[in-house]
Amino acid sequence: MPVEITWWGHATCTVEDSGTRVLTDPLFARRLAHLRRRRGAPPPPEAAVADVALVSHLHADHLHVPSLARLAPGTRLLVPRGAPRQVPGLRRLAHLRLTEVAPGDEFRVGDLLVQVVSARHDGRRLPLGPHLSPALGYVIEGTARTYFAGDTGLFESMAEEVGPVDVALLPVGGWGPHLGEGHLDAGRAAEALALLKPRSAVPVHYGTYWPIGMDAVRPHEFHTPGDEFVRHAAAYAPGVTVYRPAHGESVRPEVTR
């Protein structure tokens, strides 16, 4: 069976490969602090079914304890090294098999090999957390090699650290009208494609959450990153096929092995 990727919104995806389900940065909430889900229904219960869940960094829209609590007993959970000390709620998730990881680590789940790679992002538990845990990306290797970038900016060693990949899940936006350092917008994500040279790409981390009361502030930053990524990718990496699923939609990128 080819790799199947379902985008649930924001950075939450299910990657199904070789009979194993991998869930990225689970976020199932309608509202998170000042953010409200503005597009796409909250993921259905089956979205929480996974063999392993990957957390890229400690920001609450990526490490969301109530969403992790919905995972089935026995689910393996990979989190950045040091996360349980900074996010005490993780220690209450006794029904999960939690493993702390750092760049360079590898972990086998079923027939998949999960490799941990670096990201360039402020991965603290905001607003006051110290820099004690790394921000991470993951490469999921089975039938395909799928790169989940988490949240990251461009960095010189990206292609070297990630290695050859078939599918790249790249952030192309955010949840507010401004993207600071350590993020990819649609243009920089297309530049990342030119470095990584995957066969296929799926844009994520856009068009889902937006601050309450800010609908009229730079609304194009909410609505257009997916389309802009398609346009920029055609210019920077014309050999890459871009799949742009709607919320809850699944795609099966072509993989040649």
pLDDT tens figures, 123-143: 777 666 667 799 999 999 999
Q: What is the chain written as a DSSP string?
A: ---EEEEEETTEEEEEETTEEEEES----SEETTEEE-SSPPPPGGGG--SEEE---SSTTTS-HHHHTTSPTT-EEEEETTHHHH-GGGGG-TTSEEEEE-TT-EEEETTEEEEEEE--S--S-TTT--S-S--EEEEEESSSEEEE--S----TTHHHHH-S-SEEEEE---SSS---TT---HHHHHHHHHHH--SEEEEES-SSEEETT-TTSSTHHHHSHHHHHHHHHHHH-TTSEE--PPTTEEE------
Q: pTM value?
A: 0.95
Q: What is the pLDDT of residue 129?
A: 65
Q: What is the pLDDT of residue 179?
A: 73
What would the pLDDT profile of 3-43 be if each residue is shown by its tens digit?
A: 999 999 999 999 999 999 999 999 999 999 999 999 999 99
What would the pLDDT profile of 137-192 be if each residue is shown by its tens digit?
A: 999 999 999 999 999 999 989 999 999 999 999 999 988 777 777 789 999 999 99
